[in-house]
Chain A
């Protein structure tokens, strides 16, 4: 690792990112512009999250990376190796042991602690972007707290589908002020956004950083007669039997057989190690 400055980025870049993080924490949910650097990975692979992690890590940290809840997918493995090589930090797959967790599109099932930091990879940080493509306009809408368009969008969901059909990247209002995209986490995870850990969001291509401090009020937008609902597949996990975790649906064969498994691989593994068994657990063990 001696070939690299600690955590890859040069110090001036880290200072710039750190200043953006501090302003982001001071104004929760507001997207702070930052001079995102090119990273040795393509946009869409977590360049924003990687830059925020690089500015946050210390040599004593234990780092965990998840991609859709899994520790063993390509994106998670490559980012974990990146920081093993450039920062020399310890890495882990166990949520409990991690001090910094970088995540793509999930919040771990285990409750995060006060001394932990979770870094989200964000593709499109602007929650209003698909409703209004012009940055000048969305910026004005945020400054005027003019979020009617977002409610119109949710209303149109109801008028077309009978329910709010937005299932991920479900918009939230942070600390009664800014509407924020919580990154494409399933709306099942939205209630967890009020947590004890520091939450940092990095969007590399879009050059934005934002943050939610611990214990900050985060409200999922909804209507009185159509309240927000955190939904998941109505099954227990087929491997560990968990009924409270977010599930992935896996197609098993051409005959339409399928199984549901925890998307959080660490949660599922720790439950199986504790002796919990799901419908297909025996088969899996054999």
Chain B
């Protein structure tokens, strides 16, 4: 087995693979609670395939990326820099952040946008051990009646939703699967 270098694991056919990846990302962001497959990248550990694919699809030299906790390794930094050119940054100025929920918490350190530009907020890519349509009950834009999604911390995410139209937006990744939670979703804890 050869050691992975930063040169490996990018898209083989960037325009097409990025287009497929974006469609999956857009579908889950537009329909909170939906789960989609997200493949294409083969990132170094501990990045999941889905998180790595999201980074290749959305990040470039114009986006600051924060690598939280165990994700801030030489391997991940070199891989991300080689494939995207994205500058690695502190949480307070990041456009994107990757980590486990514990590593990304508390959410208060991330940008939530401004009243006039609520889009200038961080998008958090949360690596999860499990991802299923169970647990917290979601409602709001993109959801017919209600949806369910396993969330790491419903009260903290509801506090984020209370900031609407400000707040962070979330992708949850697990292996090669992805779900999303925009700030517009209302969350209640399911039975």
Contact = CB atoms under 8 A, between A and B. Distances in A.
Interface of A: 5-7, 11-12, 14-16, 18-28, 30, 32-33, 55-59, 114, 139-140, 142-144, 175, 177-178, 196, 198, 211-217
Contact of A18 (B26, B27, B182): B26
A28 B165 CA distance: 9
B20 interface: yes
B19 A59 contact: yes
Nearest to B123: A22
Interface in B54-70: 57-60, 62-63
B23 A30 contact: no
Contact of B30 (A7, A57, A214): A214
17 contacts: A11-B14, A11-B18, A15-B58, A23-B118, A24-B119, A25-B182, A26-B29, A27-B118, A28-B141, A33-B119, A55-B22, A58-B23, A114-B31, A144-B115, A198-B30, A213-B31, A213-B142
Contacts of B23: 56, 58
A217 B139 CA distance: 12
B140 A175 contact: yes
**Residue among B22, B26, B95, B119 with max Cβ neighbours from chain A (10 Å):** B119
B115 A18 contact: no
Nearest to A9: B15
B137 to A, nearest CB: 15
Given A55-B22, A214-B30, A18 B142 contact: no
Given A12-B60, A18-B57, A55-B22, A25 B30 contact: yes
Contacts of B19: 6-7, 14, 57-59
B16 A28 contact: no
Nearest to A34: B119
Given A11-B18, A22-B123, A214 B144 contact: yes
Contacts of B140: 175
B177 interface: no
A251 B61 CA distance: 55
Contacts of B22: 14, 18, 55-56
Contacts of A55: 22
A97 to B, nearest CB: 18
A18 B58 contact: yes
Contact of B16 (A58, A178, A198): A58
**Residue from A15, A57, A140, A178 with most neighbouring chain B CB atoms (10 Å):** A15
A23 B119 contact: yes
Contacts of B15: 5-7, 11, 14
A30 B114 CA distance: 13
A27 B116 CA distance: 12
A28 B118 CA distance: 11
Interface in B3-56: 14-16, 18-20, 22-23, 25-27, 29-31
